[in-house]
Amino acid sequence: MAYRIPRERGQRLRDYPTYTIPEAAFFLGMSRRTLHRWILEKPLWKVSGAEYAVPLLSFRDIAQVYYVELIRTHFHLSMDKARQLLAAARRESRAQYPLLTAHVRRFLKHIILTKPARGKLPRRDIDLSHHRQLTIPQVVDLFATRIQGVGADVTKLYPWRYWIPGKREETPVTIDPEIMSGRLVITGTRIPVQVLLSRKNAGESVQRIANDYDLSAETVNLALSHIERPRNSVQAS
């Protein structure tokens, strides 16, 4: 990575500030301008490495950034509404990363009753705070396939920007602080996606790259699709 600071003794990798804003935006597949605004111009929270000459984010920071991006995108919230939700969550939990806590459902102001599947009846998630209105089951578990871990102990991200809940559930790329210093890799491997992109940009075919790493061409294409065309169309707020 382009800029590094010494890791403190006993500091867990997920708490170690190691991502610059351009790196974090690249790995998450989001607009660099948007992330710069969220972190520096109108900070959503103070990131772990905010005091350094080059501001740095920890894995927890980028996990919460990704959570905000998912909420904003898939619940169609304005950035102002997302800020309000985050502020309320922080006040309630008194945590730096409230969206990564085990109680995040409380902050969405819903009380969910889950009724297990019985016979031919599917599992139902009932929103008791809205007159027992039946809700889509994915609302509760929407991000479970993108953010892995329990509560604040988030361990992995699967930030594929073409994810569509219930339709496109692929997880071609992973960010894991325990693998390759938290760089974006092909899921299930230690192969940095950036290396594949560099080889493709140098003129090598996807099939040749795939053969060299014992991957399928589809796997390589899915991974590259996440980073080849950043979402510059996302409006910074």
pLDDT 10s digits, 158-169:
999 898 877 888
Q: What is the DSSP letter of 41?
A: I
pLDDT at position 236: 37
Full residue range of the structural domain in which residue 201 is found: 13-228
Q: What letters, b where the CB count within 10 A reaches 16 and e where it falls short, cover 74-100?
A: beeeebeebbebbeebbeebeeebbbb
SS3 assignment, position 19: strand
What's the chain's average pLDDT?
81
pLDDT at position 34: 93
Which of 54-58, 61-65, 92-96, 108-112 bottoms out in mean pLDDT, i.e. has the lowest?
A: 108-112
Q: What tokens appear for 23 in the block?
A: 């790196």
Q: Is residue 237 part of a domain?
A: no
CA atoms within 13 A on the CB side of 72: 21
Q: Between β-strands 56-57 and 19-20, what pairing exists: parallel, antiparallel or unpaired?
A: antiparallel
Dihedral of CA atoms 32, 38, 42, 43 in degrees, nearest 10, equals -130
Return all residues near 177 (Cβ < 8 A) that are at least 6 apart.
12, 13, 14, 16, 59, 155
SS3 assignment, position 201: helix
Q: What tokens appear for 88 in the block?
A: 């309320």
Q: What tokens appear for 91 in the block?
A: 């006040």
Is the pTM higher than 0.85? The answer reads: no
What pLDDT, in 10s, does the model give residues 71-102? 788 777 788 878 877 877 777 677 888 777 65
Q: Is residue 7 part of a domain?
A: no
Q: Is residue 49 part of a domain?
A: yes
Q: Is residue 122 part of a domain?
A: yes
Q: Is residue 233 part of a domain?
A: no
Domain tally, the chain? 1
pLDDT at position 118: 77
DSSP-assigned states of every residue in 98-119:
GGGSTTHHHHTT--EEEE--BT
Q: Is residue 52 part of a domain?
A: yes
